[in-house]
Amino acid sequence: MAGCNCGTACEAAPTHPGYRRALWVALVLNALMFGVEIVASFKAESVSLLADAIDFLGDAGNYAVALFVLGLAPVWRSRTALWKGWLMVGYGVFVLGKSAWQWTAGIVPEPFIMTWVSLLALAVNLGVASLLYAHRNGDAQARSVWLCSRNDALGNLAVIGAAGGVWATAHGWPDIVVALVLAGLALTSGASVIRHAQQELRVNQDSAREELRQ
């Protein structure tokens, strides 16, 4: 995995003021965008927009946790990243279930609300991703934060595409397809964070055993 050598311990998570400020900005912006998107998703009846809103809420929580663990020992940062990875997987499973319900209900979302709200969300996520880009190769904790910001920007582009598809076809299936893509991103990224965190925990355990032997 990026930022981790299999034979050595991963580098410590960034703790300088720039990283801390970036996390605070990301936390505030994600919390605000959750409020905007959750209202818009119900008004537009869009499952992909709802999925993106829930992702904003999850990321706000992720940034809050990341701020909390900055000063903790590496083992606790890795354990927190492992927990966050499983949350990402759970989010993906939820979106899959919601998409199935939306399909059976035959709902056609409102494409114009989807488009304008997604453009706003894209601007926010690109700003957050640019702030966090320099810290993407840290430990599992820093990596999970970067993956969240990257996935959000990709998700916004996908929702914009879904809005165009709904407008062109007058059907809800493009919204469902994008929701499934977002679920796939959450599942694969969550699995990546879990693997990285487990690798770090194994390295930490091996280091602890070696110290006990000495």
pTM: 0.67
- d(CA 125, CA 144) in angstroms, rounded, equals 15
pLDDT digits (tens, 9 = 90+) for 56-90: 877 787 777 777 766 666 677 677 777 778 877 88
The C-alpha R_g of the chain, in whole angstroms, comes to: 19
Average pLDDT score over residue span 94-100: 83
- Return the pLDDT at 90: 84
Comparing CA positions, the residue from 198, 201, 137, 117 lying closest to residue 4 is: 137
pLDDT band, very low/low/confident/very high, at 28 (cuts 50, 70, 90) = very high
pLDDT band, very low/low/confident/very high, at 105 (cuts 50, 70, 90) = confident
> Are 10 and 3 in contact, with CB atoms under 8 Å apart?
yes
- d(CA 196, CA 141) in angstroms, rounded, equals 9
- d(CA 198, CA 185) in angstroms, rounded, equals 20
17-213: CATH topology: Alpha-lytic protease prodomain-like (1.20.1510)
Which positions ≥6 away from 141 have C-beta within 8 Å? 13, 66, 69, 77, 78, 80, 81
pLDDT band, very low/low/confident/very high, at 206 (cuts 50, 70, 90) = low
Please give the C-alpha separations between residue 116 and each of 66, 76, 150, 187, in angstroms, as whole numbers: 30, 40, 20, 27
pLDDT band, very low/low/confident/very high, at 138 (cuts 50, 70, 90) = low
